[in-house]
Amino acid sequence: MAVIKIENLTHVYSQGTPFEKVAVSNVNLEIEQGEFVGVIGHTGSGKSTLIQHINGLVAPTSGKIYIDGQDLWQDKVQRHAIRFKVGLVFQYPEYQLFEQTIYDDIAFGPKNMGLDEQEIDKRVRRAAEFVGLTADMMEKSPFELSGGQKRRVAIAGVLAMEPKVLILDEPTAGLDPKGRDMILGQIKEYHETVKSTILLVSHSMEDVARFATKALVMNHSKMFMYDTVENVFAHASEIEKMGLSVPQISKVVMGLRAKGYDIPANIHTVEGAKQAILKLAQQGGMTNA
Amino acid sequence: MLKDITLGQYFPGKSFIHKMDSRMKIIITMLYIIMLFTANNIVSLFGATALLFLFYIVAKIPVKMITKSLKPVMPIIVFTALLNMLFMGGEPIFEIDFIKITELGILMAVLMCVRIVALIAGTSLLTYTTSPIALTDAIEALLKPLNKINVPVHELAMMMTIALRFIPTLIEETEKIMNAQKARGADMETGGLMQRARALVPILIPLFVSAFRRADELALAMECRCYRGGEGRTRMKQLKMSSRDGVALVFMIVLFAAVLAGNVQAVRMGMPTL
C-alpha cells in the first residue's frame, strides 16, 4: 500500500480576491514506502504547497490526502497523530530554533509526542548523531552555532520524531558545497538505516540524480511527471524547456546521442555514463560517428 | 488564518479613486468623518451612507469588503446600539421590568450604528484604494508644517513606512514558524490559558530573533545606500494633484454643505436628532 496517496488535490490561495492564485492543480500521486523522491520544479511551481499538504498544514481546496491509508482531513485528533508520521523540515529551518539548549530543541518534537524521558533521550541522541552533532555540543545554546550547524540541529529536531515519511524542503539552500554534501550524505544514511520514505525538494538536479530513486516534477502548479529518476531525466529536453536544468552528465549523454552515439537516454550519473561509454567503445561504436 | 486580518489591505486598481492623489484622499476622508459627526438626522446620515456605496462602486471594491472590515468592530456596534436603545428617554413601546424600549431609542440606535458603519467603511475605503507607501508619503507631506516646531516628520513617516512594509513579512514569518512548530507537534489550539500562553514561546522567540536580524540588516542596507534622514532628500515618485482631485474636493464640499443644510432643515421640521 502506498504510504502517501493524493487524489485530485487542488489548492487555491486567497480565493475570491484579486490575489487569487492556483498553487496546486489536480494532482494525483501515490508514493510507496521506502522511496527516496526528489521533488523538482520552478520557484512557484507549487512544490512547497504540495508538500505542506502531506503534513496537513495546509487544507486542500479540493481533493483528498491519505497517509498510511488514513484520510488526513477526516478529524482533528487523527490529524495530530498523523502529523507525527510525516516529518517536515522547512526551508531555512534554523529560524525555528527557540530553546535554551540544543538538546531541548531537538527534544521539542518527541516531547510533544508524549514519549517518556528515556525514549526522548534515546531519540535525541540518535538524531544528533545522524546529523553529526557531538555530545559536548548538546548543552550549548542553539544561537551560538554557525548557520550550517543550526540547520543540522533543526533537521535533528525533526529526525528525533522518527517519522515514517520525512520531507525536506531545500535542506541545502545557502550552504557551501561541503556543508551540502554533508547534510545530503547524512540524509541518505538516515534513509538507508531507517528505511523511511523521503521527499527531498531541491533545485539541484545533480543532487536528485545522485540520491533519489524517483523524481517528481512540478510545472505550473501541475504534476508534470512522477517516475524513476532514469525515466525522468530521459525527458531531458522537456525538462529543460520548463526552464529547469538536468544533471550535467545528462547533457553530455544528450549531446552524444545527438551526434549519433548509441547510448541509452536514461543515464543520469557519471558512473552510469562511464559504463555505457566504455561498453560502446568495446563494441567499437565510438569510432563511427 | 493570520492573513485574513484586514490591516490596510490594499486592493490594486485603476479607478477614479485609486488614481486620486493620496493627500487629497486623506483630506477628503477626514472631511467625510467630520461630516458623519455633523450629520445628526436620519436623512443626512442615510444620504451620506448611500454615497459611500457609490464611492465603493466607483472604486470597484467589492461591497462585501465592507462586512469584512466591520467584523472586528461588531462588538462595539452592538454595544452602542444596546446602550442607545435602552437608555433613551421617551414614550416606551415595549416594556418588561426595567427594560424600556422607546421609539426614540430605536431610532437613535439605528442612527448611531449607521454612523459607525459609515465611519469604518469610509476609512477602509481609503486604505483599500491607497497603497500603504502612498499613504505614508501623503501623511509626511501633510504633516510637513510640523517640522517647524521640531517634530521629526520624515523620521516618523519612515518608521511608519517600514512598519507597514514589514507587517506582511512578519505575518508570513509568523505563519512559517507556526507551521514549523506545528510540524513538530506543537499544539496551539487546545488547552487552558496558561498552556496556550506557553505554546506561544516557540513562536515568539524565533520571531523576535528574526525581527531583530531583519532590523539589523535593513539598517545596514539603508546606510550602504547613504540614507541619512530626510534632509535634502528628493523623491522618485512626486505626489501630484490633478483636476481629478479638484473635482473630488468640490464634490465633497458640496456634499458637506448639503448635509449642513439638511441638519438645519431637520431642526426646523422638528425631526429627532442625535
Task: Read off the pLDDT of residues A172-193 as tens digits, 9 standing for 90 and up.
Answer: 888 888 888 888 999 999 999 8
Give the pLDDT band of residue A127 (cuts 50, 70, 90): very high
Q: Residue range A15-33: average pLDDT?
A: 86
Same domain, B121 and B53: yes
Nearest C-alpha in B relative to A108: B184
Query: Are residue A147 and residue A108 in the same domain, yes or no?
Result: yes
Residues of B in contact with A57 (CB under 8 A): 179, 182-183
pLDDT given at position B6: 45
Q: Are residues A150 and A212 in the same domain?
A: yes
Is B252 domain-assigned? yes
Question: What pLDDT sits at residue B232?
Answer: 78
- Are B125 and B170 within one domain? no
- When pLDDT is averaged across residues B230-234 and rounded to a whole number, the result is 79
Our CA angle for A6, B172, B225, nearest 5°, is 135
> The C-alpha cell of A64 is what?
483528498
Asked whether the beta carbons of residue B183 and residue A88 sit closer than 8 angstroms, the reply is yes
Helix axes B22-38, B103-129, angle to 10 degrees: 180
| Chain B CB contacts of A80 below 8 Å | 185, 187
Q: What is the grid cell recorded at A269?
A: 550519473
Q: What is the mean pLDDT of residues A233-259?
A: 84
pLDDT of res. A9:
92
**Is the same domain home to B41 and B109?**
yes
**A and B: number of Cβ contacts within 8 A:** 58
pLDDT (tens digit per residue) in B143-181: 989 988 988 888 888 888 888 778 888 888 898 899 889
Indicate whether A192 and A283 sit together in one domain: no
Residues B26, B85, single domain; the answer is yes
User: What is the mean pLDDT of the segment spanning A186-215?
Assistant: 90
One domain for residues A71 and A45:
yes
Within-domain flag for A242:
no
Q: Are residues B104 and B178 in the same domain?
A: no
If you average pLDDT over each of A74-83, B75-84, B99-108, which comes out highest? B75-84
CB nearest B179 (choices: A90, A109, A112): A90
H runs (alpha helix) in chain B: 16-19, 22-38, 42-59, 64-70, 74-86, 103-129, 132-143, 153-183, 193-224, 243-269
Please tell me whether residues B249 and B209 are part of one structural domain: no
**Could you write out the DSSP letters of every residue in A75-116?**
-HHHHHHHHTTEEEEPSSGGGG--SSSHHHHHHHHHHHTT--
Average pLDDT over residues A19-24: 86
Give residue ranges of B with CB < 8 Å to any A CB.
Answer: 3, 11-12, 173, 176-177, 179-187, 201-203, 205-206, 209-210
Last residue of a domain, one of A235, A259, A276: A235
Lowest mean per-residue pLDDT among A90-94, A134-138, A174-178, B227-231: B227-231
> Is the pLDDT assigned to residue A23 strictly greater than 80?
yes
Instruction: Please determine, for residue B63, whether its predicted confidence score (pLDDT) is greater than 50.
Output: yes
Q: Taking all residues of chain B, what is their mean pLDDT, rounded to a whole number?
A: 85
Residue A168 scores a pLDDT above 90:
yes
At which residue does the C-alpha cell 521506502 appear? A34
Residue A36's domain spans which residues?
A: 2-235
Is the per-residue pLDDT at B107 higher than 90?
no
CA distance B187 to chain A (A): 8
For residue A97, list chain B residues with Cβ-Cβ distance below 8 A. 206
* Burial tier of A89 (Cβ tally within 10 Å: 0-12, 13-18, 19+): buried
Most confident of A15-19, A262-266, B241-245: B241-245
Let me know if residue B121 belongs to a domain: yes
Mean pLDDT over B210-226 rounds to 93
Is the pLDDT confidence value at B1 over 60? no
A166 & A28 share domain: yes
Residue among A52, A95, A161 minimizing CB distance to B184:
A161
pLDDT over 60 (residue B8): no
Query: How far is residue A57's CA from residue A75's CA, in Å, rounded to a whole number?
Result: 14
- CA B194 – CA B234 distance, rounded (Å): 51
Among the ranges given (A270-279, B33-42, B182-191, B253-262), the one the predictor scored with the smallest mean pLDDT: B182-191
**Residue A183 and residue A258 share a domain:** no
Per DSSP, what are the bridge partners of residue A10? A62
Quote the domain boundaries for residue B156.
Answer: 143-224
Residue B31 lies in a domain: yes
Tens digits of per-residue pLDDT, A40-70? 988 888 888 999 999 888 889 999 999 988 8
Structural domain contains residue B148: yes
Q: Do B111 and B54 have their domain in common?
A: yes
- The interface pTM score, or ipTM, of the predicted complex is 0.82
CB contacts of B183 in chain A (<8 Å) are: 55, 57, 83, 87-88, 90, 158
What is the DSSP pairing of strand A2-13 with strand A62-67? antiparallel
Query: Is there a contact between A96 and B181 if contact means CB atoms under 8 Å apart?
Result: yes
* Chain A residues in contact with B180 (beta carbon < 8 A): 88, 90, 93, 96
Q: Where residue A169 falls among pLDDT bands split at 50, 70, 90?
A: very high
Tell me how many domains chain B contains: 2
- Does B105 reside within a domain? yes
Q: Confidence band (pLDDT; 50, 70, 90) for A11?
A: very high
Judgement on whether residues B10 and B95 belong to the same structural domain of the protein: yes
State pLDDT tens for residues A99-115.
999 999 999 999 988 89
Q: A70 lies in a domain? A: yes
Q: Looking at the 3D structure of chain A, how many domains does it have?
A: 2
Query: Which of A18, A52, A157 lies closest to B184 in CB terms?
Result: A157
Burial of A143: CB neighbours in 10 Å, binned 0-12, 13-18, 19+? middle
Q: Please write the tens of the pLDDT for every residue from B178-210.
A: 988 988 888 777 778 888 888 889 999 999 999
Same domain, yes or no: B106 and B212: no
The confidence score (pLDDT) of residue B67 equals 84
Task: Look at B205 and A88 and tell me if their CB atoms are within 8 Å.
Answer: no
- Looking at the fold, whether B100 and B184 belong to one and the same domain comes out as no
Instruction: Give me the CATH number covering residue A184.
Output: 3.40.50.300
**How many residues are there in chain A?**
289
B213 vs B81: CA distance, rounded Å: 47
* Same-domain check for residues A136 and A8: yes
- pLDDT for residue B78 is more than 50: yes
In a domain, A240, yes or no: no
Q: Assess if residue B167 is contained within a domain.
A: yes
User: Do B91 and B6 reside in the same domain of the chain?
Assistant: yes
From the list B11, B180, B187, the residue facing A96 with the nearest CB is B180
Residues B125 and B163 in one domain: no
CA distances, A76 to each of A88, A180, A252, B273 (Å): 19, 37, 51, 53
The cell for A267 is 543515464
